[in-house]
């Protein structure tokens, strides 16, 4: 089973477990409330029945009519059992069919007693009157309450099943995406380490070779100086590579910690103008907040790449508003590789004959994006590349 599916199933199991517990609690709370509500109706019916039978002689016609109306408005379908509480033996024989001895004692103590008989619910009240002491039992089937309970049960079950399906598919979608991102990050890191090792290995191998050749036999002073010069050149390559790697390891917040100042971009870009680089602008007043040293590294790397891959062709640099465009007429980048040139150490497949580490562009992207700039690269093999930088 794929990792994404495993994560989705695990997440679904946990989520549905929690939802199931909440659903069960809700169901029992709802059914308990329905039962309590129906018991209250039964109790009200019991008292209304008692008043209807034993208060007629104590009330005028108008008050008794209200009691009669109230009685008719209470539960319409209910079995009523009227008992003389003073006839203890007779009352006990009837009550024992519905109540335990403990509940009978509670009833005689004046408490309302609730009970159930099969599918029927009942309420019993003790009613003292001037004619004597009486007991009223009202028994009824809570048909509507039962229907509501069943509907709630099926509704909750249906919602649980639908939730399980939705959670699984949504979880699988996001889990798959997450796993793909993790895998992409892992592959990127693996490629980064492999490429870094390769780039470091080349100059180290060259240094080792120079040392071994120099030690094979006695050399002249000039030969030793030439060998040391090559070793120094390769050492500089390693130092530069290590500096770039160290900078790449910094987070965006660390980059932003470097002192920033207001930079007039048109004036700043003039330092790059030369035999190979041309510059035009219509917006001399545009300024950004940036560290001049880091900005020089970022734009300088892009211009160096443009010049390196353009042969003797000129490189055009144009500033229009807040958009800086750098265009070369070089070898271009294969379309399917454009998205990958931002990765450290990645070099396009048609650049193998050119020197380089594949760090410059990714370093430029990191610096520029930390200042909120948007970078877009368009290219066509054999015709050139355009880098568009839109500053905030």
Provide the CATH number for the domain around residue 277: 3.30.565.10
Residue 309: per-residue pLDDT: 80
Q: Write the pLDDT tens digit of every residue in 337-386.
A: 777 777 766 667 666 666 666 677 777 887 888 878 888 888 888 888 88
119, part of any domain? yes
207, part of any domain? no
**Dihedral angle over CA of 209, 214, 216, 218, nearest 10:** 170
Residue 189: per-residue pLDDT: 65
CA separation (Å) from 295 to 12, 245, 374, 386?
A: 49, 17, 14, 19
Residue 113: per-residue pLDDT: 87
Q: Write the pLDDT tens digit of every residue in 265-311.
A: 888 888 888 878 888 888 777 888 888 888 888 888 888 888 888 87
115, part of any domain? yes
176, part of any domain? no
Q: Count structural domains, the chain.
A: 2
Same domain, 277 and 140: no
List residues bridging with 231 in a β-sheet: none
Q: Write the pLDDT tens digit of every residue in 22-64.
A: 888 888 888 888 888 888 888 888 888 777 777 766 666 777 6
Boundary-marking domain end, from 150, 172, 190: 150
Q: Write the pLDDT tens digit of every residue in 231-270.
A: 888 788 777 777 766 666 555 455 555 567 888 888 888 8
pTM given for the model: 0.47
330, part of any domain? yes
Boundary-marking domain end, from 125, 150, 175: 150
Boundary-marking domain end, from 124, 150, 176: 150
Give the burial class of 25: count Cβ atoms within 10 A of its Cβ; 0-12 exposed, 13-18 middle, 19 or more buried: exposed
131, part of any domain? yes
Same domain, 12 and 145: yes
Same domain, 7 and 140: yes
At 195, is the pLDDT very low, low, confident or very high (cuts 50, 70, 90)? Answer: low
Higher pLDDT, 348 or 108: 108
46, part of any domain? yes
- Domain of residue 142 covers 3-150
CA separation (Å) from 221 to 172, 213, 229, 366?
A: 70, 15, 12, 45
pLDDT for residue 178 is more than 70: yes
306, part of any domain? yes
Q: Write the pLDDT tens digit of every residue in 116-140.
A: 877 788 888 888 887 788 888 888 8
Instruction: Report the residue count for the chain.
Output: 392
Query: Cα(330)–Cα(335) distance, rounded to whole angstroms?
Result: 14
């Amino acid at each position: 089973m794929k990792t994404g599916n495993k994560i989705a199933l695990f997440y679904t199991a946990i989520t549905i477990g929690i939802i199931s517990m909440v659903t069960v609690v809700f169901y029992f709370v709802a059914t308990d409330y329905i039962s309590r509500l129906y018991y209250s109706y039964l109790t009200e019916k019991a008292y209304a029945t008692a008043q209807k039978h034993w208060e007629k002689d104590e009330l005028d016609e108008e008050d008794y009519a209200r009691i009669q109306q109230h009685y008719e408005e209470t539960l319409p379908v209910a079995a009523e059992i009227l008992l003389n509480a003073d006839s203890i033996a007779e009352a006990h024989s009837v009550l024992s069919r519905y109540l335990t001895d403990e509940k009978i004692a509670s009833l005689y103590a004046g408490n309302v007693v609730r009970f159930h008989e099969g599918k029927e619910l009942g309420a019993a009240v003790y009613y003292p009157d001037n004619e004597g002491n009486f007991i009223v039992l009202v028994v009824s089937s809570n048909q509507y309450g039962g229907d509501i309970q069943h509907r709630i049960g099926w509704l909750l079950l249906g919602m649980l099943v639908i939730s399980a399906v939705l959670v699984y598919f949504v979880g699988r979608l996001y889990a798959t995406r997450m796993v793909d991102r993790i895998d992409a990050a892992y592959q990127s890191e693996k490629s980064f380490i492999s490429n870094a090792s390769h780039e470091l290995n080349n100059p180290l191998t060259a240094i080792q070779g120079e040392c071994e050749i120099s030690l094979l036999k006695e050399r002249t002073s000039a030969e030793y100086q030439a060998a040391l010069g090559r070793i120094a050149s390769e050492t500089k390559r390693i130092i530069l590579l290590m500096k770039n790697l160290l900078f790449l390891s910094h987070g965006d917040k660390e980059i932003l910690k470097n002192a920033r100042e207001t930079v007039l971009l048109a004036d700043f870009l003039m330092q790059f103008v030369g035999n190979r680089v041309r510059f035009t602008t219509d917006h001399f007043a545009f300024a950004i907040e940036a560290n001049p040293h880091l900005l020089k590294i970022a734009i300088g790397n892009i211009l160096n790449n443009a010049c390196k891959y353009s042969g003797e062709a000129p490189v055009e640099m144009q500033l229009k508003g807040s958009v800086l465009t750098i265009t070369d007429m070089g070898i271009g980048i294969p379309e399917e590789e454009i998205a990958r040139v931002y990765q450290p150490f990645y070099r396009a497949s048609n650049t193998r004959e050119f020197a380089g580490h594949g760090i410059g562009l990714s370093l430029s992207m990191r610096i520029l994006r930390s200042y909120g700039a948007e970078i877009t690269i368009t290219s066509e093999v054999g015709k050139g590349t355009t880098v568009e930088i839109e500053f905030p």
